[in-house]
Structure 1
Amino acid sequence: MTINPSGWRPSAPSDVHGNAPATTTGNRALMLEEALLFEIGSRDQTGVDFANVERAGTERIAGLARTSLDLPGLSEPETVRHYTRLSRQNYAIDLGLFPLGSCTMKHNPRFNEKMARLPGFADIHPLQPQETVQGALELIDTLAHWLITLTGMSAVAMSPKAGAHGELCGILSIRAALEARGDARSVVLVPESAHGTNPATAAFAGYKVEDIPATAAGRVDLEALKARLGPDVAAVMITNPNTCGLFEPDMKAISDAVHAAGAFVYCDGANFNAIVGRVRPGDLGVDAMHINLHKTFSTPHGGGGPGSGPVVLSEALTPFAPLPFVAKQADGRFKLVEEEHAADDHPDAFGRMVAFHGQMGMFSRALSYILSHGADGLRQVAEDAVLNANYVLRSLEDVLDAPFAPSGPCMHEAIFSDHGFAEGFTTIDVAKALIDEGFHPMTMYFPLVVHGAMLIEPTETESKASLDQFIVALRSIAIRARAGDEALKAAPIYAPRRRLDETLAARKPILAWKTPAPDGADSGEGAELGGR
């Protein structure tokens, strides 16, 4: 099999000492080695025979007739086996724990999936007449009511398609509010403990971004924030609970100071799962906050289409929310308020975020989750998520450095550093060794305020038994890293592929297949995207 120059190569079933493969196929029992399609088939053959027939037409639109597929020919069994074998090499939440911090990879209940597939939700079209989709509009309105109630806010924009898209919606609402009062401001402040998309969103919206430092306890430095506030500051984008897995105890004081300076508070709601049912961001002075439905309300990441990142807004920002939105009429029916209604119903809207309103697949799943839990159940979601994270933190703090553990409990995620590892051993070695133990690695090297960060979020859906298994595996690896066990450098041994040369792969990626030259030399073809 051809070796990829970036270092990505088959992991033949050698033993832990790197000895020669025990088989000639590359297979490891039922974990079957799978080559590329180009290595399985051949361009000079096909899996199907076609009779010589005349084509019905001579030209395709704009003359885009395909002259050559340049693809390998495979039989139907070969094709099916190829994709089935690849699918077995995927790691998924239905296979095991996803300890990714900041991602909230929780169980997706099958009940939600059943509801999302009901006729009237799964098969509607965005251009249907509104009188034919009253049930769908009512579902959106009901979900909106729950999101407003849970957050203590005034309104919600349901159209944003993801977290970062929601951030942009919130910042554009803030900009519209400032413009409406004739207040030109140019700076957005972003604490070091905020999510990485926050500064990108502010910059995309045309603002200059400035950092606010964190304290030694991993929270926003309130005095530094107050010192920077001024007439040029439009907003502060803060994540709470923050990316260190900690609640900001000065959140109300932060909001009061920002409002006193004439600015707005944007809260990144990606970590709302840790406080849902227990804390209402509106009570803390938040003006805008996006909610990742996949993180807090169990919809799949992406879900086979656009995701969903509704944005809740304070009373001050409600007039500037984007179009369209669902409104209940006096006769009990629902309508979408769009541009043609805006002059009467919503004259200060800043515009649209998307062509069509919402994502029914995500809305129906999220509402199913909310209604099946109820207010008390959602409160328990937050409590169990925090309990699980603290269980992980306290079970590992004796073998992994936990920089913020002395300041008290964490919230939804536990953070560790690489401090204490033997010389030459890093977080990446621990992460790769976890793969050999059958676990997806945790989030690595984020947030940047912790050196060699390992961020772990178990969520509320993991049992104590599954957490214990993960903790035992990570404890063992951490002890080996502290002792300088050189075998860690070879991990993963048992995965379908061995460790990448990640630096080379990033700097010289091979993005397309190229036929190896007959003499083994580099043919020079396909080295860049668009090559053969």
Structure 2
Amino acid sequence: MQKINRDHKVRNFHQAKWDEPIIFELHKSGERGTTLPLVEEEIVNHVGDGISAIPQEMVRTKAPRLPEISQNRVLRHYLRLSQETLGAAFNVEIGQGTCTMKYSPKINETFAASPKMTELHPLQDVSTVQGILEVTHKLDLCMREISGMDHFSFQPGSGTQSLFAMASIVRAYHDANGEGDQRDEIITTIFSHPSQAATAAVKGYKIITLHPDKDGFPDIERLKEVVSERTAGFVVANPEDTGIYNTRIKEFTKIVHDAGGICYYDQANANGLLGITRAKEAGFDMCFFNLHKTFSTPHACGGPATGALGVVDKLKEFLPGPIVEQQDGKYILNHNLKNSIGKVRSFQGVPQTVLRAYAWVRALGAEGLKDVAKIAVLNNNYLYHNIQKIRGASAPYIKGQRLEQVRYSWEQLTKETGVTTDDVSRRMADFAHHYWSSHHPFIVPEPFTLEPTESLSKADLDEYIASLEHISNEAYTNPEKVKNAPHNSTIHRVDEQDYFENPEKWAISWRSYLKKAKQAETVKS
């Protein structure tokens, strides 16, 4: 019997692969997962049949075309799909880059799954939902302390929606002051998230982008050149996606304020800042946090996300309403915001996400939150120090100054072996690791962006580093093996480069798929 070397850090992994149809194709007419008994006659006589009271125009004329399938086949189907998926609960998740993947305490899932939460209805009278309103208000108070802001809304459904809301507030603020038409420019930076420029552009702003100086900091001299009476606002992440923290950020916000602009802060990834720096002291008028990143609630495939949007006092009246406030010992929904931008999402967002975040904050306390930042920065700098020892890897710009993440480069590896960052990404899947390159365009050549959070141990980091080192050695000795990866994953390379960009080649629903398939058959015949 061969002895397995457990000291070897590169994991021998082969992902399960199932020839698994989508659930609509598993449909078998008449098959049932659960058979419900008929309602007893006594109940019908007392409360009715439950259908007749529904207005006729709301009653379906046909049953929905849902798959009919037994319980055991449903279970088998989703377990198989889960085996074909990499995720934070399955593997050492460092490679999601700017998206802060961390361990989310499972006790918080128990809270969120409580009937007290799952049976809430957004149209209930506020007197019947005092509990979740209290949690929301208390999380608001925590966020004020963490950021220095004066008021928070948890209505936005994502970081991008928070950025859109903030751009809307900038527009509403200048409109209220009679300068809306004059101030038509938003300044941002090339290493900030693309959503910053995109959301401002949707609001009709001209976008001015600051590029880095030789050390990787946003060019402050360029800011002085472009700021003017047309400046509506300045939006930035700090640290940016390179992981470099701009210690001169207060000079940037002062320059914009002196010109009459509003400064707003993308803190989607605040993992390295908790308890150490605050938006207020950096001169910002608004900021947002992603509860589904820094505050340890699951990303959940982009579904139940929440952007916590905070503002200073002068911008409170512009927040998306209503906001939760305490009044005479009770919690209310304040709809009376004079210049509110209106709703950016239905109702109050996702209360389960707010509850999880509140539980996480309360469990850690002030010192615990600060420890989160310290450990995240320590983990990142350990990774940073060791990756630069790997042949072909580097970290562009100023040396030795990174916070919670780093945008690295395989430029040397590509020049010497022909192996690209996309090749390395696919090969990492063979060792049960996810790996992200960068937003496009690639400002850093052949980039890869890593962010180890406080959840990772030294052993986890060593495993990830060893896998990268192993692939680097392969690139120099057998580059074709890396270029043809993945070898142990569920799928291999997608040959057509425009596959995900071409809507003619994908469908967002089963109905859309059937329609396109029928059209394709018609064209073929």
Shorter-chain TM-score above 0.5: yes
- Report the counterpart of residue 382 of structure 1 in structure 2: 373
Which deviations, in whole Å up to 9, do the C-alpha atoms of 1:68-119 show, x marking residues without a partner? 9698x87765554333212211222111122211000111111211222334
Cα separation, 1, equivalents of 2:439 and 2:301? 27
Residue correspondences, number: 478
The answer on whether the counterparts of 1:195 and 1:243 sit within 8 Å (CA) in structure 2 is yes
- Report the counterpart of residue 401 of structure 2 in structure 1: 409
Cα separation, 2, equivalents of 1:524 and 1:362? 38
- Report the counterpart of residue 418 of structure 1 in structure 2: 410
Q: Which amino acid aligns with 1:153?
A: M
The answer on whether the counterparts of 1:320 and 1:350 sit within 8 Å (CA) in structure 2 is yes
Cα separation, 2, equivalents of 1:260 and 1:432? 48
Of the three residues 419, 435, 442, the one matched with 1:441 is 435
- Report the counterpart of residue 334 of structure 1 in structure 2: 331
| 1:281 match: secondary structure | coil
Q: Which amino acid aligns with 2:82?
A: S
The answer on whether the counterparts of 2:266 and 2:287 sit within 8 Å (CA) in structure 1 is yes
How far apart are 1:204 and its partner, in Å? 1.1
Q: Which amino acid aligns with 1:333?
A: K
- Report the counterpart of residue 148 of structure 2 in structure 1: 152
Q: Which amino acid aligns with 1:103?
A: C
Is 1:169 matched up with 2:182? no
- Report the counterpart of residue 135 of structure 1 in structure 2: 131
**What are the within-5 Å matches in structure 2 for residues 6-405 of structure 1?**
31-36=16-21, 46=29, 48=31, 77-99=72-94, 100-184=96-180, 185-302=183-300, 305-329=303-327, 331-338=328-335, 342=336, 346-399=337-390, 400-404=392-396
| 1:147 match: secondary structure | helix
Of the three residues 457, 467, 474, the one matched with 1:463 is 457
Cα distance change of structure 1 residues 382 and 525 upon mapping to structure 2, 3 Å threshold: same
- Report the counterpart of residue 421 of structure 2 in structure 1: 427
| 1:296 match: secondary structure | coil
Cα separation, 2, equivalents of 1:365 and 1:292? 13
Cα distance change of structure 1 residues 493 and 307 upon mapping to structure 2, 3 Å threshold: same
Cα distance change of structure 1 residues 359 and 424 upon mapping to structure 2, 3 Å threshold: same
Identity of aligned residues (%): 30
Cα distance change of structure 1 residues 482 and 416 upon mapping to structure 2, 3 Å threshold: farther
Cα distance change of structure 1 residues 481 and 39 upon mapping to structure 2, 3 Å threshold: farther
- Structure 1 portions without partners, runs of 5+: 1-27, 50-55, 515-522
Cα distance change of structure 1 residues 413 and 502 upon mapping to structure 2, 3 Å threshold: farther
The answer on whether the counterparts of 1:168 and 1:202 sit within 8 Å (CA) in structure 2 is yes
How far apart are 1:321 and its partner, in Å? 1.9
Cα separation, 2, equivalents of 1:117 and 1:82? 23
* CA RMSD, 1 decimal: 3.2
| 1:199 match: secondary structure | helix
TM-score (norm 1): 0.82
| 1:106 match: secondary structure | coil
How far apart are 1:219 and its partner, in Å? 1.3
Q: Which amino acid aligns with 1:412?
A: E
Which deviations, in whole Å up to 9, do the C-alpha atoms of 1:456-484 show, x marking residues without a partner? 01111011111111110111112322455
Cα distance change of structure 1 residues 393 and 332 upon mapping to structure 2, 3 Å threshold: same
Is 1:473 matched up with 2:464? no
| 1:439 match: secondary structure | coil
Cα separation, 2, equivalents of 1:213 and 1:29? 42
How far apart are 1:157 and its partner, in Å? 1.9
TM-score (norm 2): 0.83
- Report the counterpart of residue 490 of structure 1 in structure 2: 484
Cα distance change of structure 1 residues 467 and 61 upon mapping to structure 2, 3 Å threshold: same
| 2:250 match: secondary structure | helix
| 1:176 match: secondary structure | helix
Which deviations, in whole Å up to 9, do the C-alpha atoms of 1:347-401 show, x marking residues without a partner? 2333232331232101110000000000111011111111111111111102243
Cα distance change of structure 1 residues 217 and 302 upon mapping to structure 2, 3 Å threshold: same
The answer on whether the counterparts of 1:445 and 1:453 sit within 8 Å (CA) in structure 2 is no
Cα distance change of structure 1 residues 469 and 30 upon mapping to structure 2, 3 Å threshold: closer
Cα separation, 2, equivalents of 1:435 and 1:122? 36
Cα distance change of structure 1 residues 128 and 509 upon mapping to structure 2, 3 Å threshold: same
Cα distance change of structure 1 residues 162 and 76 upon mapping to structure 2, 3 Å threshold: closer
How far apart are 1:316 and its partner, in Å? 3.0
Cα separation, 1, equivalents of 2:71 and 2:264? 53
- Report the counterpart of residue 505 of structure 2 in structure 1: 509
The answer on whether the counterparts of 1:246 and 1:410 sit within 8 Å (CA) in structure 2 is yes
- Structure 2 portions without partners, runs of 5+: 1-12, 33-50
The answer on whether the counterparts of 2:215 and 2:397 sit within 8 Å (CA) in structure 1 is no
The answer on whether the counterparts of 1:189 and 1:237 sit within 8 Å (CA) in structure 2 is yes
- Report the counterpart of residue 43 of structure 2 in structure 1: none
Q: Which amino acid aligns with 1:33?
A: W
Cα distance change of structure 1 residues 431 and 444 upon mapping to structure 2, 3 Å threshold: farther
Cα distance change of structure 1 residues 129 and 209 upon mapping to structure 2, 3 Å threshold: same
How far apart are 1:122 and its partner, in Å? 3.3
| 1:234 match: secondary structure | strand
Cα distance change of structure 1 residues 325 and 38 upon mapping to structure 2, 3 Å threshold: closer
Cα separation, 1, equivalents of 2:477 and 2:123? 63
| 2:313 match: secondary structure | coil
